[in-house]
Structures are given as structure tokens and as C-alpha cells.
Amino acid sequence: MKSYIKAISPITLAVLAALLPAVNTQATPLLNEGGVNNNVTNNDTHASDRVTYDDTHVSERNLVSGGASSAPSNDTHANSKLHAGPQELTFTLGVTQTTPNYKDTHTNDANLSLINALNDTHANIDVNAHSHEIPRTLTQVPYSALGVLPTSEHDSQFSYGDDPLQTVHVWHGRGGDENEFAGDAVIFVHGGCWLNAYGYDHAKGFYHALAELGMGVYAMEYRRVGDEGGGWPGSLEDVTSAVKASIENIEATGDSGNIYLVGHSAGGHLGLLAAQQLSSSDVSESIKQVIGLAAITNVQSYALGENSCQTATPQFMGGMPTENKREYQTATPDAAAIKPTVILLQGNEDSIVPEHHATMPGVKNRIITNGGHFDWLHPESTSFDALLEVMSQHDK
């Protein structure tokens, strides 16, 4: 009996070795933290997003299993593995002097490696794997990726008008005085093509990340196209009032530090105009810097474009530039009339706001290599690092 077992043992082992790869290919699909099967065929190309953002990226939750893409998509970002759990936020600071038309050369060996991996449909990219030695290199972030970032609820809120939308949501800075930006505050104007389909909450991961760095975040909501009183000029009136109320609220706490007025996309456009309107008052002296993130600076040329956000411009302005020439001129920011210093940050591969919007006369800019439109709102991106570097220039 013993000799029989000895005789078949090598055969058994060989059979088992041959079967193992086959067993491996039938392994249980990867699950996300909530236990949901992520290895799902997804033909949804974000049709709802096409109304404004034309986001054709497949959800980042579709992970790769067994060495093949689970989503039939040409999106080279579809295999990025984005964790929804808490992140340890560490940053590489140290700023290169920004000058007009400055080109940011953030692309480095680590960045190229990540880009190559993103183009590899068999790669799983863990954007949570971050340390001081590995700087952030994520670029071309799809809008869908913002929805899986770690977030936290606001700590307080206050109203600046009678409409429920006229509200500012506040995140207090975490971590005490030892944090890099402790005591600083960001007044944020969100984008979304001026349409009420997109509210302040789509950037909650951005607010959370800034608060973890010690910053207070004042994220305003305001009336937009589709809301009674929204559009031009109502949206601007709301944003201007919200900025003023936020500054008063910050200064009332007695811990103001540096105050930055930051706007993204259409919010960048409104933030610039609000800063311009407030420049004739003492309030503007409290603003350390106005920062436009992919800000729309020329609504006249933007209205003539063909992407979905550009075609929303006439809805916001109440007509085309040929019909409302005076209104379009008023809605175009003038850097010479803005008292605080202004810097425009822009990705050179932004498919929603063209790069030329960062060349506003009389303003410094910083162009991010391979930067996309939503990179600014993702705390693991090269663009987010650039924003932090710009703000860190101002020592307390």
C-alpha cells in the first residue's frame, strides 16, 4: 500500500500543478470596501455627465481581475484603483517662482511610470500609495473619481441671504498649529458650467483634504442656471455676497491667517469677478491671493466653443455674444481692476477649459504638464500639489 502511494504521489503533484493556473483564473472577483463586486461589465459612459462635462470615463470602481480589464472601454484610466478609505496626506512642497506663461515641469520619472501604467490595461494603480519619496503624479482625473474620495461633513454653516442656496458650508482645519497651513482659510467657488446640476458637494473630497492640512474651508453654494435668480448676473451677486460674508466670518474668529479666494472652472470665472467687485472696498485687503483653477476668463470666446460646457455659456449669459455684447464685456474679468494678486493654474491637456484662458493679460500663471480639468479637486494629483505649493509661498 505504501509503495502504491509513493508511486502515484509525483503524478498527483503534477496534476495539481497543472490545475492551479486554471483555478486562479476562476478566483473570486475583487470586492470594494463595502463588499460590492467591482468586476462588473459597465457600458455606462456617463451619459448624464455629457450634459455638461462630456465625461466618458468608465467608473474607477471597475478594477482588473485575472489580468484582463473587466470593463469593455477604451478609457486608459479605467483600471485605476482608488481607495475610499482614509488617506495619510503628505506633500512635497518647495515652490519654483511663477512667472507669466510659466511651464510647470512636474512630469518626472515617477510621473512617466504612472502614465505608462495607466496606458497598460492590465495595471492596477494604487493612488493611495504616497509618501514624501513618491510625489503625487496622478493626472487626467475623470469626474467620476471625485465621488470615491474620502470626505467628511461640514462642521458648521451660515447663510448670506434668504434663499436656502445662499449658504456657506465650513470645514475647520484639523491637526492643530503644527500643520503646514494651520490658521489659513480657503474661500471656494465651485464650478459646474454655471448650471444647478452640479453643486458644492461634488468637491467634498477636496474640502476634506484641505481641512486635514489645517486649512479652514468656506465652500459656498449659490444660485445657478435652473434656479430662480440664478444665471447672469444673479450668480455673481450671490458669489460676491458669499465671499464678503465669509471674510467677515473668518475675521470674527480671530484666527484668520492667510485668506485665499479659490475658484474652479466656472467658479473661477465668478471668483475673479467677485474679487474685482470687492476691490473697491476694504474687504479685498483681507484676501491674500485670488487663485483660478482652470478658470474661464473669456466668456465671449468660450461661448463660441462646441463642448458641452461651452454650449452652456449662452444659457448662463441669456444669449450669444452677438446678442448681449455689453453683458459679455461686463462678465469678462479685468486683471487690472483686481486689487489682490491673481494667479491662474491650468492643465495643458484640459479638454473642458482651453489653456489660453490662463493667459489673461497682467496675471501670473502656471501650466501643469498633462494636467486635466478635474485634477485640481483630487488630493493625489500633480495639480493639487501645485496648488499647495502656490499657497505655501506665503509665509505667516
Instruction: Work out the pLDDT band at 246, boundaries 50, 70, 90.
Output: very high
Judge whether 247 and 173 are in contact, CB under 8 Å: no
215 and 296 assigned to the same domain:
yes
264-293 mean pLDDT: 97
Dist. CA 333–CA 63, nearest whole Å? 43
Least-confidence region, from 81-95, 156-170, 189-203, 310-324: 81-95
* 112 vs 294 pLDDT, higher one: 294
238 and 187 assigned to the same domain:
yes
Confidence at residue 21, expressed as pLDDT on a 0 to 100 scale: 43
159-187 confidence digits (pLDDT tens): 999 999 999 999 999 877 778 899 899 99
Dist. CA 304–CA 311, nearest whole Å? 7
Residue 240 domain-assigned?
Answer: yes
Instruction: Work out the pLDDT band at 257, boundaries 50, 70, 90.
Output: confident
Dist. CA 371–CA 351, nearest whole Å? 10
285-302 mean pLDDT: 97
Asked if pLDDT for residue 390 goes beyond 50, the answer is yes
Residue 86 domain-assigned?
Answer: no
Judge whether 357 and 296 are in contact, CB under 8 Å: yes
Residue for cell digits 478609457?
75
74 and 108 assigned to the same domain:
no
75 and 106 assigned to the same domain:
no
273 and 384 assigned to the same domain:
yes
* 319 vs 97 pLDDT, higher one: 319
Number of domains in the chain: 2
Residue 115 belongs to what H/E stretch?
helix 109-118
Angle at 203 between CA 200 and CA 205, to 5 degrees: 140
Residue 303 domain-assigned?
Answer: yes
**Mean pLDDT score across all residues of the chain:** 75
* 322 vs 362 pLDDT, higher one: 322
Confidence at residue 178, expressed as pLDDT on a 0 to 100 scale: 77
180-235 confidence digits (pLDDT tens): 899 899 999 999 999 999 999 999 999 999 999 999 999 999 999 999 999 999 99
254 and 320 assigned to the same domain:
yes
Instruction: State the cell numbers at 332.
Output: 469678462
Judge whether 390 and 327 are in contact, CB under 8 Å: no
Instruction: Work out the pLDDT band at 256, boundaries 50, 70, 90.
Output: confident
Instruction: State the cell numbers at 329.
Output: 464685456
10 and 135 assigned to the same domain:
no
Q: Which residues contact 209 (CB under 8 A, 6 or more apart)?
A: 87, 89, 149, 150, 379, 384
Judge whether 262 and 188 are in contact, CB under 8 Å: yes
CATH classification of the domain holding 202: 3.40.50.1820
Instruction: Work out the pLDDT band at 253, boundaries 50, 70, 90.
Output: confident
Instruction: Work out the pLDDT band at 289, boundaries 50, 70, 90.
Output: very high
CA nearest neighbour of 88 among 50, 128, 127: 128
Supply the range of the domain harboring residue 320.
102-392
128 and 58 assigned to the same domain:
no
Asked if pLDDT for residue 19 goes beyond 50, the answer is no
130 and 58 assigned to the same domain:
no
Confidence at residue 135, expressed as pLDDT on a 0 to 100 scale: 63
141 and 289 assigned to the same domain:
yes
Asked if pLDDT for residue 111 goes beyond 90, the answer is no
124 and 228 assigned to the same domain:
yes
pTM as predicted: 0.70
129-167 confidence digits (pLDDT tens): 333 345 678 999 999 999 999 999 999 999 999 999 999
Residue 217 domain-assigned?
Answer: yes
9 and 133 assigned to the same domain:
no
Asked if pLDDT for residue 52 goes beyond 70, the answer is no
118: phi then psi, degrees, rounded to nearest 5: -65, -30
